[in-house]
């Protein structure tokens, strides 16, 4: 089976992890600080604050914006549930703006229409490795005096007009095992605002600036040096790994370009794609359904995944939730029926890619 994702850490990560173990400093320490510096450089920001996972990054980013009961955060309905859970955990109300089919990200026009008197934060999601249209979204937030939190969990290194995703407001990143850069579990918050960075560092450490000097009601959001040691060597190799993903995506697109009823992902003008996922749509014009394609791919040894099978609020635990406002999202509702992600990771061989292309073509009946 060709897997949808692969986790491989090299000898450099092993050596650095052993160094941490032997040092006796395995909680937050100098390795976390080093990871933060190198991560900030990669994104192109002044500050990066490490936390224990990507959901925590979202929650903490919202918490330092001082949301009050009744304040609304507008985000995408096409995202992993952590986006919604973080809004609820921060005490805010979640609203949603529909996506565009060409980038799977929130539509700036729909986002503008969703802004109301209680809106306090816009939270675009940079999905699958391609960022949302921040050239339109960032000015929208500025015009209305709104906070801007970028859910960049899947798009580390992607750019908009040459500017890094996660550099327009508070950027939040996941370093989960299957991400393009991983520490197993982990997260990062990026910003150019020194005041917000300082508050985040105090918040993640039980509200302490120094031992027993409490400045706010805080939490234990810390990352460990042992986790940071796994991530640091990947930063140096990150550009090359993304290039391999880009090359793999190009080979998939070339091989699948003429398949009837299959809509392929694209890298849009002015934006770079880091190909966390290669997601196609099995449209209504295809001779088979999306679920039939998945079954046939599995039979032929090609791993695939549905990210995501429903709008994020279309579950019993959210349908009647008083702080979840589920506005209609017709584009998202169509995409969740049609989307399927194919292997594109940088560990694929040429033979693997040929097998994926052949399997998809056969599954769709091309």
Could you tell me if 246 and 129 lie in one domain? no
**In a domain? residue 177:** yes
Confidence grade of residue 153 (pLDDT, cut at 50, 70, 90) = very high
3-state secondary structure of 179: coil
Residues of the chain with pLDDT > 90: what percent? 99
Q: How far is CA 238 from the centre of its chain?
A: 16
Could you tell me if 299 and 341 lie in one domain? yes
How far, in Å, CA of 54 to CA of 50, rounded? Answer: 10
Could you tell me if 291 and 322 lie in one domain? yes
Q: Given this model, what pLDDT does residue 77 score?
A: 98
Could you tell me if 245 and 222 lie in one domain? no
**In a domain? residue 119:** yes
**In a domain? residue 144:** yes
Question: What average pLDDT score do residues 279-303 get?
Answer: 98
| Residue 179 annotated in active site | yes
**In a domain? residue 167:** yes
Catalytic residue among 120, 179, 243, 310: 179
Kindly report the number of other CB atoms within 10 A of residue 276's CB atom.
27
Kindly report the number of other CB atoms within 10 A of residue 252's CB atom.
23
Could you tell me if 23 and 172 lie in one domain? yes
pTM as predicted: 0.97
Q: Given this model, what pLDDT does residue 82 score?
A: 98
**In a domain? residue 137:** yes
Confidence grade of residue 366 (pLDDT, cut at 50, 70, 90) = confident
Backbone angles phi, psi at 301, to 5 degrees: 80, 25
Q: Given this model, what pLDDT does residue 205 score?
A: 97
How far, in Å, CA of 49 to CA of 36, rounded? Answer: 6
3-state secondary structure of 41: helix
Domain boundary (233, 268, 296) is at 233
Could you tell me if 248 and 192 lie in one domain? no
Half-sphere exposure of 322 (CA within 13 A, CB side): 4
Could you tell me if 211 and 288 lie in one domain? no
Q: What is the pLDDT of residues 228-277, one digit of tens each?
A: 999 999 999 999 999 999 999 999 999 999 999 999 999 999 999 999 99
Q: Given this model, what pLDDT does residue 342 score?
A: 98
Could you tell me if 122 and 83 lie in one domain? yes
Domain boundary (233, 262, 290) is at 233
Could you tell me if 267 and 194 lie in one domain? no
* Residue 112 DSSP label: H
Number of domains within the chain: 2
Q: Given this model, what pLDDT does residue 23 score?
A: 97
CATH at 273: 3.90.1150.10
3-state secondary structure of 123: strand
3-state secondary structure of 223: coil
**In a domain? residue 62:** yes
Could you tell me if 249 and 113 lie in one domain? no
- What's the whole-number average pLDDT of the chain? 97
CATH at 27: 3.40.640.10
pLDDT at 34 over 90: yes
Could you tell me if 19 and 141 lie in one domain? yes
Q: Which domain holds residue 145?
A: 11-233
Strands 187-191 and 47-51, how do they pair? antiparallel
Candidates 125, 156, 121, 159; CA nearest to 140 is 121
Kindly report the number of other CB atoms within 10 A of residue 241's CB atom.
17
Domain boundary (233, 261, 290) is at 233
Could you tell me if 18 and 152 lie in one domain? yes
């Amino acid at each position: 089976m060709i897997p949808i994702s692969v986790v491989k850490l090299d000898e450099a990560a092993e050596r650095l992890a052993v160094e941490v173990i032997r040092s006796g400093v395995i909680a937050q320490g100098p390795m976390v600080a080093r990871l933060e510096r190198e991560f900030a450089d990669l994104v192109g920001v002044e500050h990066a604050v490490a936390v224990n996972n990507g959901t925590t990054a979202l929650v903490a980013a919202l918490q330092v914006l001082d949301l009050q009961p009744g304040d609304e955060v507008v985000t995408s309905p096409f995202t992993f549930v952590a986006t919604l859970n973080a809004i609820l955990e921060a005490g805010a109300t979640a609203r949603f703006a529909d996506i565009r089919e060409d980038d799977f990200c929130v539509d700036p026009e729909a986002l503008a229409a969703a802004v109301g008197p209680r809106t306090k934060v816009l939270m675009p999601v940079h999905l699958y490795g391609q960022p949302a249209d921040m050239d339109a979204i960032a000015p929208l937030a500025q015009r209305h005096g709104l906070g801007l939190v970028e859910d960049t969990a899947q798009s580390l290194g992607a750019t908009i007009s040459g500017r890094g995703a996660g550099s327009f407001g508070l950027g939040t990143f996941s370093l989960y095992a299957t991400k393009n850069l991983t520490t197993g579990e982990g997260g990062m918050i990026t910003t150019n605002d020194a005041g917000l960075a300082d508050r985040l560092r105090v918040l993640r450490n039980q509200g302490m600036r120094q031992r027993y000097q409490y400045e706010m009601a805080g939490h234990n959001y810390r990352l460990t040096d042992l986790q940071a040691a796994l991530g640091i060597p990947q930063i140096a190799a990150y550009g090359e790994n993304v290039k391999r993903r880009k090359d793999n995506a190009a080979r998939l697109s070339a091989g699948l370009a003429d398949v009837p009823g299959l809509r392929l992902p694209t890298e849009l003008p002015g934006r770079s794609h880091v190909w966390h996922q290669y997601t196609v749509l099995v449209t209504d014009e295809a001779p088979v359904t999306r679920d039939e394609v998945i079954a046939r791919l599995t039979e032929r040894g090609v791993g695939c995944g549905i990210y995501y099978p429903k709008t994020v609020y279309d579950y019993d635990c959210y349908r009647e939730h008083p702080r979840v406002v589920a506005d209609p999202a017709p584009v998202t509702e169509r995409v969740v029926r049609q989307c399927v992600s194919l292997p594109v990771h940088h560990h694929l061989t040429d033979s693997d890619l040929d097998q994926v292309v052949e399997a998809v073509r056969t599954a769709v009946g091309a």
